[in-house]
Amino acid sequence: MTPHNSLINGETLTSTGDLFQLGFFSLDNSSAKGYIGIWYCNHTPQEGTVVWIANRNKSVNTSMASFNLTSDGNLVLFEEDKIVWSTGTRSTELNSARLQLLESGNLVLNDSNYILWQSFEHKNESGMYLVGMKFGFDNRANTSWQLVSWKNPMDPSPGDYIMMIRALPIPDDDEGILHILSRWHMERI
C-alpha cells in the first residue's frame, strides 16, 4: 500500500504467500461494530484467527471507516472524518512510505530502508502471539509488551487475563496471580 491509498470495508491487503490478510471485519457480521486487523487467510475472523487488531478498544462502523496511508507516512484509521487510531509516524520524504503485510503476520510501515512502525512492536495487547512479536519489558523505555485476553469471543476489548513478564521483585502476596512460571533475569526468552 502506498500513500494516498486506503482500505475500505470489503478490501484486504494480503501477504505475499497468502498466509495473512489485513482488512475490516466484524465478529457479529454487522457493519456497526467493526475492527481493522490481521487474520489467517482461508479462515474468517469469526473462526478465532485474528492475530492483531489496531482498534481493539474502540469499534467502528465499517461502512463509514477507512484505513489510510497519508503522504507524510502516518497510518490512520478514520471513521467518517474522525481519527480513531494512528501510528503517529512521519516519514522523512513525502510519499515515500510503504505499508506491507509480511508472511510472518507483521504489518510493516517503512520509508526507503527504515522501519517507521511495525505491528510486532506495537503495544496492542492482542491476545495472540506470533513468532517475532515483542514480548516482555524494557526498563529504559519504561514500556512492556504483554498478551491480554479478549473480553469474550465476540468482543476483542481487554479481558480478565494477562500474560506478562514482570520485573523483579515479585510481590510476596499472590493476590491476582494465577501462576508464576519462573523468575526472569533480563535474558532473552
Over the stretch 140-172, which tens digit does the pLDDT of each residue have? 777 777 778 888 888 998 888 877 776 655 556
Show me where the domains of the chain are located.
6-121
> In whole numbers, what is the pLDDT of the chain averaged over residues?
82
Edge-first strand order for the sheet with 50-53 is: 12-14, 20-25, 35-40, 50-53
C-alpha 131/C-alpha 80 separation (Å) is 35
Residue 48 binned pLDDT confidence (cut-offs 50, 70, 90): confident
Mean pLDDT, rounded, for 10-28: 93
Highest mean pLDDT among 16-20, 163-167, 180-184: 16-20
Find how far residue 70's CA is from the centre of its chain: 19
Is the pLDDT at 34 greater than 80, yes or no? yes
Q: Annotate 110-169 with three-state secondary structure.
A: EECCEEEEEHHHCCCCCCCCCCCCCCEEECCCCEEECEEEEEECCEEEEEEEEECCCCCC
CATH top-level class for 6-121? mainly beta
Q: Quick one: how many helices (H) and strands (E) in the chain?
A: 0, 15
Q: Which of 41, 69, 75, 40 is nearest to 55 (CA)?
A: 75
Q: Tell me the pLDDT tens digit for each residue of 81-121.
A: 999 999 988 877 777 889 999 999 999 999 887 899 998 88
